[in-house]
Structure 1
Amino acid sequence: MIELRGYAASDAERLTELANSANVSQFLVYTFPYPYTLEDAVWWITIGSQENGAITKAVEYHGELIGSVGITPQTGWKSHTAEIGYWLGEQFWGRGIATQVLERMTNEVFADGRWDKLFAPVLSPNQASVRVLEKNGYQLEGILKNEVIKNGQLFDVHHYAKHRT
């Protein structure tokens, strides 16, 4: 059973345990630190998960916190769009959970009616995330060559998106 819920202060230790992984952080945005400390988790729960109008949910699987999913609304001429992102603790990879989480969050966001397009930038080696997006009907809109540097390495970014129908 998968549930999406708001974060609670009591999630800090478990969040630290899950997020403090080089494998989890390797393809996430530069603001996702590694090592991931209890201080990082407290900041995320109290401030970061809501910054810039973000809507972030803790992912529970059979009552246990296992990851996160969220959107960051865009502004100005892109105010009809939002970036979507997700991650799970390593022990929950390869079970189809991320696919279900993305489906649920995508449906919730589109049902809200505020956004017409969700997009997800994916670093080129992250083929597991590509599969999750494609299973949910996200389509590749373009590849931005040498777009980001993560841990001193250049990566192409695959830009996936889905439009509200």
Structure 2
Amino acid sequence: MATIKGSKFILRPWRLTDAASLQRHANNINVARFLFDRFPHPYTKADAERWVLAHQSKAVMTNLAIVIGDNAVGAIDFKQGDDVYRKSASVGYWLGEQYWGKGVVTESVQLIVPHVFYNFDIIRIQATVNGNNLASMRVLEKAGFTKEGIMRDAITKNGEIMDEHLYAILKDI
């Protein structure tokens, strides 16, 4: 996959040299608190190396590093559904805390959406957001996603039961 250029960053495939920067930015409770429990905290160097190696070996790159300067400071990924969901994809992202509030994730989503629609047989991209993650909801809304619903008491994170918000964007057909 080619690099996708943003105004202040690039989206590109992972490199083994990204592991140290990945570990530094991912090892933050404020990042981990909004992600699935499978995102470890603390986030060790071994976790970072395992992540990079796993994503370097994929035939189709669906998880990209968000790179500022020479540092991998976050990630954005998409997963195509299967079976009856084969024309749908989900998108997810995270960013190192020092880069929050600068439009990096919003622009990353705005760049990945047309890439996915153009390169894959997808007509819908969706994202789910923890009920306490207002910043991520704003990212999706600024990127053109529409809130389709709220699944009440759908997730448990750090012992708290909360709602999950569903956002989607459709391909212009």
User: Shorter-chain TM-score: which interval?
Assistant: over 0.9
Q: Aligned residues, how many?
A: 165
Query: What residue is the counterpart of 1:120 in the other structure?
Result: 127
Provide the residue aligned with 2:51 in structure 1.
44
Cα pair distance change 1:50/1:147, threshold 3 Å: farther
Structure 2 residue runs of 5 or longer lacking an equivalent are 1-7
1:152 correspondence with 2:122: no
Quote the residue 2:87 is aligned against: 80
Structure 1 distance, partners of 2:117, 2:14, is: 21
Contact residue 50 and residue 56 of structure 1 kept, 8 A:
no
**Correspondent of 2:26 among 8, 13, 19:** 19
Q: 1:136 aligns with which of 131, 143, 149?
A: 143
Task: Report how far residue 40 of structure 1 moved.
Answer: 1.1
Q: Which runs of structure 1 show a deviation greater than 6 angstroms over 4 or more consecutive aligned residues?
A: none
Given candidates 100, 103, 111, the residue that maps to 2:107 is 100
Please report the TM-score for the alignment, with normalisation by the length of structure 2. 0.89
- CA distance in 1 between counterparts of 2:54 and 2:120 reads 25
Given that 1:54 and 1:73 are in contact with CA atoms closer than 8 Å, whether structure 2 keeps it comes out as: no
Inter-partner Cα distance in structure 2 for 1:11 and 1:61: 11
Q: Deviations over 1:51-89 (max 9, x none)?
A: 7x7700001123432111011111110011111001110
How far apart, CA to CA, are the structure 1 residues paired with 2:56 and 2:149? 28
> What code does the residue aligned with 2:97 have?
E
Q: Which deviates further from its counterpart, 154-163 or 64-73?
A: 64-73
Q: Per the alignment, do residues 9 and 104 of structure 1 end up closer, same or farther by CA in structure 2, a change over 3 Å counting? A: same
> Equivalent residue for 2:5?
none
